[in-house]
A and B are shown apart, each in its own frame.
Chain A
Amino acid sequence: MQTPVATGRSVTGIPTGRLAVWWVIGSEIVIFGGLLMYYIMLRNKYDYWAESSAHTATMAGALNTFILLTSSLFIVLAHYYAEKKDHLKSFKYIWMTIAGGLGFLVVKSIEWTNEIMSGYTITSELFWSFYYTAAGIHAVHVIAGMVIMGIISFDVLQKKNMHRVELIGIYWHFVDIVWIFLFPLLYIAK
């Protein structure tokens, strides 16, 4: 299939790909927004949730925050080198970002295994339902981002579609920001 003329036009001056990513993020914001609104409302209503949240592994959450933020830095670097047409360095930093995502998921699985072993499952209490659901939906986004980055990285290696590094970068920052909201809400708030 050849690309239509429409795809190449840019009446607003914003490249179409970037415009679309912003709209995707807009639609994601309302999804997470709805979920978190509900959580915050109930959280205010039920003081005893503080007790449940005391059982979450704050250190693991903090470690994951650190890992995700670092990976965001890597994707910025990947974008920087993509702009400079240094495809090898860009490829390398994309994979370091993916490694960050992987690290996040590893920490998360250890954390969840511990919690489930101690009897805190998704059905044990409403707080835990939120805990697993919100973080789970977020983790799905992390995985999706890693898969897309993997695909893009091989394009980059052949010097194709280098502008897509920027697009996945925007998305990855968004995934990061969601976590920045989840971390205090699920782990720290007492």
Chain B
Amino acid sequence: MTKVYVPRDMAALAVGAKRVLAAIEKEAAARGEAIQIVRNGSRGLLWLEPLVEVETPEGRIGYGNVKPSDVPSLFDAGFLRGGAHPLSIGKVEEHPYWAKQTRVTFERVGVIDPVNLDDYVAHGGGQGLAKAFEIGPAKVIEEVTKSGLRGRGGAGFPAGIKWKTVADAPADRRYVVTNADEGDSGTFADRMVMEGDPFVLIEGMTICGYAIGASKGFIYLRAEYPQCAEVLTEALEAARKAGWLGPNVRGSGFAFDIELRIGAGAYVCGEETSLLESLEGKRGIVRAKPPLPAHVGFMSRPTVVNNVLTLATAPAILAKGGEYYASLGVGRSRGTMPLQIAGNVKFGGLYETPFGLTLGEIVNDIGGGSLSGRPVRAVQCGGPLGAYVPPSLFDTPFDYEAFQKHDSLIGHGGLVVFDDTVDMAQMARFGMEFCAIESCGKCTPCRIGSTRGVETIDRIVEGVDVEANIELLSDLCHTMKFGSLCALGGFAPYPVESALRHYPEDFRKATLPAAAE
């Protein structure tokens, strides 16, 4: 029976994968063709979605941007045997966008049936956990430390050190919490892992739990990902049924289980202490640090809070060795980063690669420039709290430290491309407005500062005391940056300041014509 892959990834569904699936099933039935449908995740070649793949003796042949109306002609062209068709992209694994990547965390995403544990194992799943049980908790932490893996949520804190801190903290119980509150605009890597290879997250959390001596884990998933919740629920059930979770994980004697929790639309709950409050059933108000969650976390117990990508990378690190992972990347940014190329861009998608590509290579060579065909004017890196970077800085290599040098951040690896129609004063205003909407309200600089920021930018745009108000805005940014409790208020000034620095003309539109006279 021919295997036909139709993704169940949310992005593929958003462009009609479900209707395409129905059309394929109907057409196959009408023609008496026996097919086996596999609902895989997305390969990450998102501009080609829905990307239908057919398994042939030569490999998997892809057909991109399939519409339901294309389905009869696909059958006519013999697509079940990989037949030629205008939508064919040939062997998916030879497509340059796929072939040039170094897939570690995303090794199986888009390739396997996400909720089939046998498929997971057949593609190398489970080896990391087996290795962990073989070498023991202390060596697991050593291996993760050796790999140089840093927290992929944005802060970039070394994962091994966090795990060791929790393991060493005396406690009656400890917790592993996955931060799956992926709220940054331009990011979807967490979602794609969870929808395309949920077992890798389950395995990573189990490895972490084993290393730190925790028997309970939580996945805190944002409510905006309903399809993702379905996949995770199916995967958790399958893992429990197969003994990968429960009182005796894979016969090791180690007990571990995972509970899925859904957020409720608060961006600030992506901040780890706010997330913990929310998980405990409270308002998602940020906690002052110290104490760190590694010492006093969920239910006041030592807790590892790691991003999805961080934990989903642990199995590969264990299976392939910390040294292998550390051999990739540049400087202090080791390993790979799943880049998310988004916004006004031609080839939007997910591209996992070692750190060190320049921003220009990512946006122009991989992303193909703007979708509108107009010149690229800005790229926002690292979500709504990240800086806008102009093309003049496109030679900046993608790594934590190089970005920091330009007062930018790589955050969670999201890149949003804007063409030259963007009004940067409006984007700066939105940065402040977003902070005002999402501020938890605990600290004054964030709560009040963001609202004052919106008002000040409005005055600048109207042409009221422009230079004085720009100075006031800069001063306000400074206060927020250094006076806020967490990254929301502390980083909200980055988009604003970068807009002021690189696009000063956008803030002076009201006064420029007068000055020219």
A binds B: no
On B, residues with C-beta under 8 Å from A are none
